């Protein structure tokens, strides 16, 4: 099973690894919310948030650039907010005409767009830090302790568990196709784009049918073993005094950042 394809947890002995998973989830959510509440263009506040993430990278013994290198995946998705450049009133920066559309880029819109990109970038970094220092089963039980809907938590848990099985199934399909192609590895086979699309569609259909049949077998096997919708673990997730103190300190710092950004 190719678990390294998706599992990003890294073993460690830092205080972040030892921190209660529930506390880490709460702090992560509050950090993302704090970045979302910062005023547009408050670069000093964004800089403080980024510096905090870099320090946490060092505290987790990951290296200062660990989350930075893995966070650029957020940029293509943040481009969905590019319409903000033309949606807010302000000083005109440029004007474009595309057929019936008359687009006016404003300074306020550009500022909003850049702020959204930075917020997304920071949020992805802190999320990467969370999954790197916390095992996924611990994250699932933290969500349960925070009273998220049980059905949602169960779906997330099974999606994570069986995405590795599906990835192995895809690799088997690709190996089977290659074995039946009789084409040297250095050559590219196949026909037109439509032909390739038809073959890919057939493979997706096979993957869906195999997944559906497997899910039915797994569900019946779990019922036979007494599954009642609750995920159990051998780890105890108690919150100790140091966890409460650290969460209180983190909340205090986030409140200070908001006061500085809005009243400073």
Instruction: Looking at the structure, tell me whether residues 171 and 106 fall in a common domain.
Output: no
Give yes or no: residues 99 and 21 share one domain. Answer: yes
Share above pLDDT 70 across residues of the chain, in percent, rounded to a whole number: 89
Query: In this predicted structure, what is the pLDDT of residue 188?
Result: 60
Domain count, the chain: 2
Rounded Cα–Cα distance for residues 245 and 229 (Å): 33
Confirm if 36 and 256 have CB atoms less than 8 A apart: no
Q: Which long-range contacts (CB under 8 A, 24 or more apart) does 65-68 make?
A: 66/128, 66/132, 67/124, 67/125, 67/126, 67/128, 67/129, 67/132, 68/125
Helix axes 43-59, 241-263, angle to 10 degrees: 160
**How is residue 189 written in tokens?**
């086979």
Position 124 in a domain = yes
pLDDT, one tens digit per residue, over 118-165 is 999 999 999 999 999 988 888 888 888 888 888 888 888 888 878 777
What integer pLDDT is reported at residue 122 of this predicted model?
A: 94
User: Are 130 and 155 in a shared domain?
Assistant: no
Domain co-membership, 140 together with 36? yes
Separation of alpha carbons 245 and 15, rounded Å = 13
Q: Cα-atom radius of gyration of the chain, to the nearest Å? A: 24
CA separation for the pair 33, 31 (Å, rounded): 5
Range of the domain at 174: 150-183+191-224
Tell me, what's the pLDDT at 88?
83
């Amino acid at each position: 099973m190719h678990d390294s394809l998706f599992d990003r947890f890294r073993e460690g002995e830092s205080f972040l690894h030892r921190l209660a998973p529930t506390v880490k989830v709460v702090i992560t959510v509050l950090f993302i919310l704090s970045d979302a509440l910062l005023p547009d263009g408050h670069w000093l506040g964004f800089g403080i948030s980024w510096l905090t993430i870099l320090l946490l990278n060092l505290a987790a013994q990951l290296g200062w650039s660990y989350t930075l290198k893995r966070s650029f995946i957020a940029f293509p998705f943040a481009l969905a907010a590019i319409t903000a450049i033309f949606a807010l009133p302000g000083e005109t920066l440029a004007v474009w005409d595309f057929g019936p559309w008359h687009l006016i880029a404003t300074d306020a819109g550009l500022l909003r767009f850049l702020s959204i990109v930075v917020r997304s970038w920071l949020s992805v970094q802190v999320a990467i830090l969370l999954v790197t220092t916390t095992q996924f089963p611990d994250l699932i039980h933290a969500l349960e302790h925070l009273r998220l809907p049980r059905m949602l938590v169960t779906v997330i848990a099974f999606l994570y568990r069986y995405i590795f099985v599906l990835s192995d199934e895809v690799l088997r399909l690709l190996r089977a196709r290659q074995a039946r192609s009789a084409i040297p590895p250095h050559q590219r086979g196949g026909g037109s784009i439509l032909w390739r699309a038809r073959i890919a569609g057939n493979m997706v259909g096979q993957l869906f049918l195999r997944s559906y049949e497997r899910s039915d077998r797994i569900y019946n096997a779990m019922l036979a073993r007494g599954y009642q919708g609750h995920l159990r673990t051998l780890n105890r997730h108690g919150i100790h005094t140091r966890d409460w103190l650290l969460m209180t300190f983190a909340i205090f710092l986030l409140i200070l950042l908001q006061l500085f950004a809005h009243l400073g």
